[in-house]
Structure 1
Amino acid sequence: MFFDKMREGAQGTTSKIILGAIILSFALAGVGSYVTRPAKQVAAVVNGDEIPAQTLENAYRNERARLESQLGEQFSQLLADPAYVAQIRRSVLEQLVEQRLIDQKIAELGLRASDDQVRNAIRALPEFQVDGQFDNDRYLQLLGRNNLSPEQLRDSIRQDLNRQMLLNAVVGSAFSLQSEAGLLDRLTHQQRSASLVRLPLAQFEAGAEVSDEEALAWYEAHSQQFQRPEQVKLNYVLLDANTVSADDIDEQAIADYYAANQASYTQPEQRRVAHIMVSKGEGAEQKIAAIAERLAAGEDFADLAKTESDDTFTGDNGGELDWMEAGTLDPAFDAAAFGLTEAGEVSGVVESEFGLHLIKLLEVRPAQTKPLDEVRDAIAERLAADQAGDDFYNREQRLAELAFEFPDSLDMAADELGLTVHSTDFVSADALPAALNDARVATQAFSLELREQRMNSDLIELGDNRAAVIRVLDYRPAAVRDFDEVKAEAQQLALKDKAAELAQQAADELEQVWAQGDIEAWLSERELSVTELAEVTRESAQDPALLNALFAMAAPAEDEPSLQTVSLMGGDLAVLRLNAVNTPEATSEQLALVRQGQGRVQGQRDYQSLITALKAAAEIEYRQIENEDDNFF
């Protein structure tokens, strides 16, 4: 009955109009998908040159990988801060903008690395070397694996060399005057003598007292120092992979795995070939045909490779390539090389993306399979790891199911899987138990959803076959701790402040007494003494703050001593009286090094000034780009 009414309604005028509108909307949507194309995303425009968003994204990922390898687990915590991520993106984009400005300046100046420079730079790359020597086979293999043509690599290397030429031109043209370097050298070797009175903070702390009222006043004036971060109280379970020994793996399982994966233990057929290559272009076909005729007439393949091949890397060695396996080189080249049947046989003309080739088969190594005895231990370890991983995966899935099915407790999951429910007291995000010290756990533990609903979290994968489920039992927001809780700490801090004030008053008084003359009575009354610092240099083993202050003080005048109070490491104060300054009249043997160093520093400043000037004169437009993980700008 219901379906009969639907069929009758579908025949009505109103239904037909609605159906027609729906069909029209789908039709227009389909046309729109062909007519409308997504606009090209651009990260920035520099003097009319666009920096694609994808270029920024690739550079950003590379920078993230570099920082992750450098900072380790700390980097994962930093990534939780959107401001830090945005800062990385801005920095990467600024580097891309600077590179584009430099490239534009290079083009304006007409700087260009020669072909020989590019070739030598490629040959010097360690990635293409075997035993310290350039290996053409490795070169071609790596290009193929990275989807790069020789032309693309050549252009990239040339661009880097061009940038290096400009950098060297700017930095290399900087210099330091002999007089400037001489002055710096003599100042570097300057010696200073002084008298020092140390005012130990502990001595003033012993003589100071802080009342409860003073401690409370200090607490109220510095309440931000007693801020307690937000905290949670947790229950949690941890799941680790069970350890499976390779000795427990069944011999039949090892044999079955070996039989099923024999290709993994087979060294495929390898071939060593030589080739003569002619680069594509006008007259290439005629040239390669002429070479083929000369081969047919009996000329030596190696001699022709040396004189006629455009692949100069292999030409010097008779065109020989290293041992190769099927599928590692250009498909056309690969098919021709493995289509030859006998050593000494030469192929017809083969066209690859690199050029036109004649290929000669030199030697063949048949495929070989390693015996089971040789690979048995490796297979057992592999199967043990796989079994442990499978067990962990199954238990992990079950843990996720149980945590979801019984959301208000972890007991059921713990009982079934043989786990322990752990509990914490109130902890902040940076004080989680070591087993939970992971940014992903902190994010869940302090999420609004978990702390309000008090339900089990989703399964949190911690890596290395480890996982956890947590449940927030209680939450305590950030707040200033009560005075009664921190009274002792506040009194101690207030005492240190009062002692520092007393020490500063004593230092001011000492400076006045010392400026007027003898200080023996003043020192005796306070049980202090003078320490003489003779012929101190900038490299002397002294407190860094003391050295900085000593060499910043003005030389003493006859009627006006040079005095200064210095805060030392550890909180003590010291009053310095500069007695003598001895600057060498002659320069040292390090003058040349000093001058070189000054030149390098000046060169770096000049290069940075060039970039600043290029930015100031350029028209740079930054576009706003949204990333799937975070917002940029």
Structure 2
Amino acid sequence: MLQNLRDKTSGWIATVVLGLLIIPFAFVGVNEYMTGGNDTAVAKVQAPPTWWASAPSWWPLSLLWQDETIGPEEFRAEFERARQQQRQALGDNFDPREFESADNKRRVLEQLIDQKVMLLAARRAGVTVGDAAVQKSIAEEPAFQVDGKFDPARYTTLLASQVPAMSPLQFQEKERERLRMAVLPLGIGESDFATGKEMDRLIRLLGEIRDVTLAAMPPPEADTAEVGEAEIKAWYEAHPADYRQPETVALEYVDVDGAQLQAGAAVDEAALRKRYEQEKARFMSPEQRLVSHILVALPAGADAAAQKAAEDKARSLAAQARQPGAGSVEERFAALAKANSDDTGSKDAGGDLGWIERNGAMVKPFEDAVFASQAGTVSDPVKSEFGWHVILVREVKPSQGKGFEEVRADLAREAVDAERDRAYNELAGKLTDETLKNPTALAPAAAAVGLAVQTAGPFSRAGAPGILANPAVLRAAFSEQLIEDGTVSDPIEISPSHSVVIRVTGHTPEQARPLAQVRDAVIAAVRADRQSKAAEKAADALLARLRKGESLKDVAVAEKLQFNEVPGLPRGMPVPSREANEEIFAAQRPADGKPSVGKLKLGNGYAVFAVTKVTDGDLAKVTPEQREQLKQQLLQVRSAGSAQSFVEATRRQYKVTVHEDRL
């Protein structure tokens, strides 16, 4: 048998077949070697080689395709950033459970995929971003600035506070990647333009006014006709969402409110005086100094000669300011500052920097020199990272404080509040300890701390009473854990020193209400629908008469309808309502001397209208500045649309693989 197998695999045909089989197996083996056979990517974006853009995705040499991968760590980090943004935007209304939905995860993933598509497109186009562009972008980020200038300390602090924390080097590379992926779509968007004729047409449309006549039809008569069983059943089955019972819960809860606790014993006078002495500094206003300065700027990396020249100039200015002459030292200093200072922010004000405290707002050498000088004196030149400073302390405002009697009432109130907070924390902590002993019952824990158990419900999310309507309480009350386990919740904070502990005692899921229970509501809905259709039919009949040539005014008089003329109605005005205005301006222009007619839904009735005249916006009334502003707004909208279209078109050219089970 082995000899037969050997004979059959030794011919040239077998050699060719085996050779062909080796090719795919070889590439599969290389792929397994490169990926380690353990692909955990959440999504992958792949593009064919630039020299064969139309290569099919099943091509055996797909290893030569370019790709960008979204790993689980990257997805989780982006999802966490989105979570933090949503929490900040919604505050107490943020629902962590709702945010974890599959739709939210897919939305975040789609954004990441679009970013990878643009990154891959930039790589294929040879786009690079230099260090200077990265540094410029970071320096111009408002979040990293203090008083309009980039602040290195703020920069590193904000990066460290990110989740997860980032080093400056990591952020620089991330910013480089962001700039790189933005180059192509921004370039596409910024290439949009608007012609003069387009702007003329837009101005005419936006400034358009219409002369309109309106005839309001009387409210439809109440429908009192019988509603058959078949009609009732059909309506009920066609509108299931209108007849559902919302999810409800019943609760027992304990309200722990620090404001209701006894304040305790009277405040001890000696204790108040001791606290005053310990915290005296907070009742003192800090020393302040009114300061002017002259800056002789020194560029970074200046050579020794430039540094010496700047120092000599500063010393010369200090000597001139001290030299007796006409006017006061402040007047001489202000004149020198206006003529010589390199600080554009204070130069025109004679170097005035206002009142300064010792709080780190100024660089340390400058601040030290200010508080080492006497009022009315000019300092020796002081060097900082900005250059050489000549400083004049014009006035000193010494530290001032309040005596014990002035702050006694505040200290007493704080002592009472502190005692109440202590009592609240002790009570809340004891209640928590008691609930841990028996987590499925609230009454024993409440009895142990002397608080009453209250009950509420059943109620829905929209009908919660009192403090139970707090968003945090509602999230806990309708959470799966408390509903399924019947356990006591952790303390839920309502406000500082005020919390509530709850336990779900009953739960009814959202469900359809039986027809027998909503029968009257269904009948009312059927009759309301009949009324609406009857009113619309009457409006259509009136429109038919107008289209045959009758005048709306004549018809209104004959039918005793309320008739109004609205000349010069502007586009976009909420007259007679915003929706009605849109309907009127969506109507065709009058043609051949015949008005353009239509109908409007107003409340529970209808009105018919006739557009008798259309006047375009006057180009001459738009100033060049207004025209340019409108053009920029139009280009901004177009640019965003063009950039998004480019992303979508590029994405269609690539292969995107998503692993839903890894989200």
TM over 0.5: yes
Q: In the alignment, which residue of structure 1 is the partner of 2:217?
A: 198
Specify the code of the residue in structure 2 equivalent to 1:177: G
CA distance in 2, matches of 1:264, 1:234: 46
Q: In the alignment, which residue of structure 2 is the partner of 1:13?
A: none
CA distance in 2, matches of 1:534, 1:292: 77
Specify the code of the residue in structure 2 equivalent to 1:278: L
Alignment of 1:63-212 (within 5 A): 63-64=85-86, 67-68=89-90, 73-74=92-93, 76-77=94-95, 80-83=98-101, 128=147, 177=196, 181=200, 184-185=203-204, 188-194=207-213, 196=215, 198=217, 200=219, 202-203=220-221, 205-212=222-229
Please give the secondary structure, in 2, of the residue aligned with 1:503: helix
Deviating more after overlay: 526-535 vs 217-226:
526-535
Alignment of 1:442-481 (within 5 A): 442-481=474-513
Q: In the alignment, which residue of structure 1 is the partner of 2:282?
A: 264
Check the 8 A contact 1:218/1:490 in 2, yes or no.
yes
Q: Is 2:246 aligned against 1:226? A: no
Residue of structure 2 aligned with 1:441, choices 473, 484, 501: 473
Q: In the alignment, which residue of structure 2 is the partner of 1:492?
A: 524
Deviating more after overlay: 57-66 vs 275-284:
57-66
Question: How far apart are 1:553 and its partner, in Å?
Answer: 2.7
Check the 8 A contact 1:44/1:50 in 2, yes or no.
yes
Q: Is 2:602 aligned against 1:569? A: yes
Please give the secondary structure, in 1, of the residue aligned with 2:563: strand
Question: How far apart are 1:236 and its partner, in Å?
Answer: 1.1
CA distance in 2, matches of 1:625, 1:262: 63
Question: How far apart are 1:468 and its partner, in Å?
Answer: 1.0
Check the 8 A contact 1:195/1:531 in 2, yes or no.
yes
Specify the code of the residue in structure 2 equivalent to 1:371: G
CA distance in 2, matches of 1:485, 1:404: 42
CA distance in 2, matches of 1:58, 1:290: 54
TM-score by length of 2: 0.63
Alignment CA distance shift 1:293-1:219 (3 Å): closer
Computed over aligned residues only, the root mean square deviation of the Cα atoms, in angstroms, reads: 6.2
Q: Is 2:442 aligned against 1:410? A: yes
Specify the code of the residue in structure 1 equivalent to 2:481: E
Deviating more after overlay: 267-276 vs 451-460:
267-276
Question: How far apart are 1:429 and its partner, in Å?
Answer: 2.7
Question: How far apart are 1:366 and its partner, in Å?
Answer: 5.9
CA distance in 2, matches of 1:458, 1:148: 33
Q: Is 2:332 aligned against 1:300? A: no
Check the 8 A contact 1:392/1:465 in 2, yes or no.
yes
Residue of structure 2 aligned with 1:551, choices 582, 585, 589: 585
Please give the secondary structure, in 1, of the residue aligned with 2:250: strand
CA distance in 2, matches of 1:533, 1:186: 22
Q: In the alignment, which residue of structure 2 is the partner of 1:136?
A: none
Question: How far apart are 1:89 and its partner, in Å?
Answer: 5.6
Question: How far apart are 1:332 and its partner, in Å?
Answer: 6.2
Alignment of 1:25-64 (within 5 A): 63-64=85-86
Alignment CA distance shift 1:563-1:454 (3 Å): same
Please give the secondary structure, in 2, of the residue aligned with 1:242: helix
Check the 8 A contact 2:254/2:453 in 1, yes or no.
yes
Question: How far apart are 1:198 and its partner, in Å?
Answer: 2.0
Check the 8 A contact 1:176/1:599 in 2, yes or no.
no
Please give the secondary structure, in 1, of the residue aligned with 2:459: coil
Question: How far apart are 1:445 and its partner, in Å?
Answer: 1.9
CA distance in 2, matches of 1:591, 1:305: 43
Check the 8 A contact 2:314/2:390 in 1, yes or no.
no
Map Cα deviations across residues 517-551 of structure 1 (whole Å, 9 max, x no partner): 7799x999x97647354636235832444433333
Alignment CA distance shift 1:293-1:561 (3 Å): closer
Question: How far apart are 1:255 and its partner, in Å?
Answer: 1.1
Alignment CA distance shift 1:258-1:98 (3 Å): farther
Q: In the alignment, which residue of structure 2 is the partner of 1:8?
A: none
Question: How far apart are 1:215 and its partner, in Å?
Answer: 1.8
CA distance in 2, matches of 1:213, 1:584: 54
Q: In the alignment, which residue of structure 2 is the partner of 1:531?
A: 563
Residue of structure 2 aligned with 1:399, choices 415, 431, 434: 431
Map Cα deviations across residues 38-61 of structure 1 (whole Å, 9 max, x no partner): xxxx9999x999999799699758
Q: In the alignment, which residue of structure 1 is the partner of 2:56?
A: none
Q: In the alignment, which residue of structure 2 is the partner of 1:6?
A: none
Q: In the alignment, which residue of structure 2 is the partner of 1:278?
A: 298
Question: How far apart are 1:292 and its partner, in Å?
Answer: 5.2
Specify the code of the residue in structure 1 equivalent to 2:423: D
Residue of structure 2 aligned with 1:250, choices 268, 284, 304: 268
Q: In the alignment, which residue of structure 2 is the partner of 1:386?
A: 418
Check the 8 A contact 2:250/2:457 in 1, yes or no.
yes
Deviating more after overlay: 292-301 vs 324-333:
292-301
Please give the secondary structure, in 1, of the residue aligned with 2:457: coil
Q: In the alignment, which residue of structure 1 is the partner of 2:165?
A: none
CA distance in 2, matches of 1:337, 1:309: 18
CA distance in 1, matches of 2:285, 2:655: 55
Alignment of 1:479-518 (within 5 A): 479-512=511-544, 515-516=547-548
Please give the secondary structure, in 1, of the residue aligned with 2:506: strand
Question: How far apart are 1:432 and its partner, in Å?
Answer: 2.0
Q: Is 2:639 aligned against 1:607? A: yes
Specify the code of the residue in structure 1 equivalent to 2:231: E
Question: How far apart are 1:323 and its partner, in Å?
Answer: 2.6
Q: In the alignment, which residue of structure 2 is the partner of 1:21?
A: none
Check the 8 A contact 2:45/2:117 in 1, yes or no.
no
Question: How far apart are 1:367 and its partner, in Å?
Answer: 5.3
CA distance in 2, matches of 1:106, 1:325: 49
Question: How far apart are 1:397 and its partner, in Å?
Answer: 0.7
Map Cα deviations across residues 188-215 of structure 1 (whole Å, 9 max, x no partner): 4443344636263x41x33543134422
CA distance in 2, matches of 1:321, 1:193: 62
Map Cα deviations across residues 460-486 of structure 1 (whole Å, 9 max, x no partner): 222332211111112212210111211
The number of aligned residues is: 553
Question: How far apart are 1:314 and its partner, in Å?
Answer: 6.0
Check the 8 A contact 1:242/1:391 in 2, yes or no.
no
Check the 8 A contact 1:346/1:359 in 2, yes or no.
yes
Map Cα deviations across residues 138-162 of structure 1 (whole Å, 9 max, x no partner): x89x87677699xx9xx9xxx9xxx
Percent of aligned pairs with the same amino acid: 21
Specify the code of the residue in structure 2 equivalent to 1:260: Q
Question: How far apart are 1:270 and its partner, in Å?
Answer: 5.7
Specify the code of the residue in structure 2 equivalent to 1:441: V
Check the 8 A contact 2:192/2:639 in 1, yes or no.
no
Structure 2 unaligned blocks of 5 or more = 1-42, 47-65, 159-167, 177-181, 322-332
Map Cα deviations across residues 48-101 of structure 1 (whole Å, 9 max, x no partner): 999997996997588447624xxx544x24884334865896799799999999
Q: In the alignment, which residue of structure 1 is the partner of 2:54?
A: none
Specify the code of the residue in structure 2 equivalent to 1:376: R
Specify the code of the residue in structure 1 equivalent to 2:319: D
Question: How far apart are 1:266 and its partner, in Å?
Answer: 3.9
